[in-house]
Amino acid sequence: MRRSLTSLVAALLAAGTISVILPMSSASAAACATAWNASAAYQGGAVVSYNGHNWSAKWWTQNETPGNAGVWADQGTCGGWTPAPSCNHPNWAAGQWYAVGSIVRYTDGNYYIAVHENPGYDPVISHWYWDPYTCGGTTPTDPPAPGGFVVSEAQFNQMFPSRNTFYSYSGLTAAMSAYPAFAKTGSDTIRKQEAAAFLANVNHETGGLVHIVEQNTANYPHYCDAGQPYGCPAGQAAYYGRGPIQLSWNFNYKAAGDALGINLLADPWRVERESAVAWKTALWYWMTQNGPGTMTAHNAMVNSRGFGETIRSINGSKECGGANPAQVQSRVNAYQRFTQILGVSPGGNLSC
């Protein structure tokens, strides 16, 4: 009697004559290593998990995102990864009350989560109340850099992992309209070097974009030069350091306000209330003021005079010429880190 093919295969399997190789299930994927931490330092050979993959460090690294930096080698998918939550949230509505934890889709297509309850404040203006929110395995709040800015929002966040939400990326890119030559002059290398130099200096001035105003309140009354014909209409103690470059003195508020078409002499508090205004004052100084140096910081970078000249333009003899080498090195360290994130050489003449 002829045996069916099915029964023949069953008999051979039972006898151990043939074996069947089944497809690997997802459960057989490698276990996920400890999750990558932006603030942790990793030696070469360290293995972490990120976005469902294990990654191996080729050399020492810190704050470089796996998948976006060449230091990490992809080791393949790993099990136990939970994908980002789906993007199924209502559209934001002005005037509607939002409790802490509410997630909305803004008119620009990006998502935001309420970190303080609020009566429907605008998420891209009221940064105290809203934070960007990532969902669906993507980062909706990291669109292509506006206006061709050489620093993406992801890179900006990588540079300033602990920044105050007041110092928003959207505030910076909005402020750049006041000085369109900023980080857009010269070669791609020059542009990236200038952006890194600017951000390294404001990083130093604000403790990593954390402090909005000068921390030593005892200094506040010192910044009124009563000899100026316009005096100090906002009060003697009103012109303390504010913003990314810590704008101070009544004459600087007057000059910056005149250049920007904003009456900062009468209302210097706008620099600590409005992100774009704060960034504009920093760009005003960077682009137009020699300070204690011999050239603007912008000219120092676009003419390849080196990062050290930008330090001289900001703090001059207070730091340069051996006056405070630790402060100079702090700025240089940030500049080197930022140029690495942007994938560009820092160039020469880093110190002053």
59 with 205, same domain?
A: no
CA separation for the pair 219, 204 (Å, rounded)? 19
**Sorting pLDDT into bands at 50, 70 and 90, what band is 19?**
very low
CATH of the domain at 101: 2.10.10.20
CA separation for the pair 273, 176 (Å, rounded)? 18
The answer to whether residue 205 is catalytic is: yes
270 with 330, same domain?
A: yes
CATH of the domain at 245: 1.10.530.10
If one counts every other C-beta atom within 10 angstroms of the C-beta of residue 88, the result is 9
The answer to the question of residue 230 being in a domain is: yes
CA separation for the pair 10, 96 (Å, rounded)? 67
Which residues, including other chains, have CB under 8 Å from residue 79's CB and lie 6 or more apart? 26, 27, 28, 29, 30, 31, 32
127 with 212, same domain?
A: no
306 with 209, same domain?
A: yes
268: closest CA among 213, 197, 229, 199?
213
70 with 100, same domain?
A: no
Taking a C-beta distance cutoff of 8 angstroms, is the pair 261, 284 a contact? no
175 with 277, same domain?
A: yes
Taking only the tens place, the pLDDT of each residue in 277-288 is: 999 999 999 999
User: Checking DSSP bridges between strand 111-114 and strand 130-133, what pairing results, if any?
Assistant: antiparallel
The whole domain housing 125 covers 84-140
The answer to the question of residue 9 being in a domain is: no
pLDDT at position 40, please? Answer: 67
202: closest CA among 310, 296, 128?
310
Residue 282 burial (C-beta neighbours within 10 Å; 0-12, 13-18, 19+): buried
DSSP sequence for 51-83: TTEEEEESS-EES--BTTBTTEEEEEEEESPPP
**Sorting pLDDT into bands at 50, 70 and 90, what band is 85?**
low
Mean pLDDT of 327-348: 94
Question: With 60 as the cut, is the pLDDT of residue 267 above it?
Answer: yes
Greater confidence (99 vs 326) lies with: 326
104 with 227, same domain?
A: no
The answer to the question of residue 221 being in a domain is: yes
The answer to the question of residue 116 being in a domain is: yes
CA separation for the pair 250, 232 (Å, rounded)? 6
CA separation for the pair 307, 201 (Å, rounded)? 10
What are the angstrom distances between the C-alpha of 148 and each of 123, 173, 233?
23, 10, 40
pLDDT at position 89, please? Answer: 82
268 with 180, same domain?
A: yes
**pLDDT over 70, % of the chain:** 83
**What angle do helix axes 275-288 and 188-206 make, rounded to 10 degrees?**
120
pLDDT at position 240, please? Answer: 97
**pLDDT over 90, % of the chain:** 56
The answer to the question of residue 23 being in a domain is: no
**Sorting pLDDT into bands at 50, 70 and 90, what band is 16?**
very low
The answer to the question of residue 29 being in a domain is: no
160 with 131, same domain?
A: no
Domain boundary among 140, 171, 186: 140
pLDDT at position 76, please? Answer: 84
Taking only the tens place, the pLDDT of each residue in 194-243 is: 999 999 999 999 999 999 999 999 999 999 999 999 999 999 999 999 99
Domain boundary among 97, 122, 140: 140
124 with 149, same domain?
A: no
The answer to the question of residue 174 being in a domain is: yes
- Overall number of domains in the chain: 3
Greater confidence (213 vs 30) lies with: 213
Q: For the chain, report the end-to-end CA distance as a whole number of angstroms.
A: 97
**Sorting pLDDT into bands at 50, 70 and 90, what band is 11?**
very low
90 with 54, same domain?
A: no
What are the angstrom distances between the C-alpha of 121 and each of 98, 111, 116, 277?
9, 14, 11, 19
Which residues, including other chains, have CB under 8 Å from residue 226's CB and lie 6 or more apart? 232, 236
CA separation for the pair 52, 73 (Å, rounded)? 14
Catalytic residue among 64, 153, 205, 309: 205
146 with 246, same domain?
A: yes
Q: Please work out, in degrees rounded to the nearest 5, the angle formed at the alpha carbon of residue 116 by the alpha carbons of 110 and 122.
A: 45
Least confident of 86-100, 157-171, 186-200: 86-100
Taking only the tens place, the pLDDT of each residue in 107-156 is: 767 788 887 888 888 887 767 788 787 765 433 334 445 557 999 999 99
Secondary structure class of 118 (helix, strand, coil)? strand
The answer to the question of residue 43 being in a domain is: no
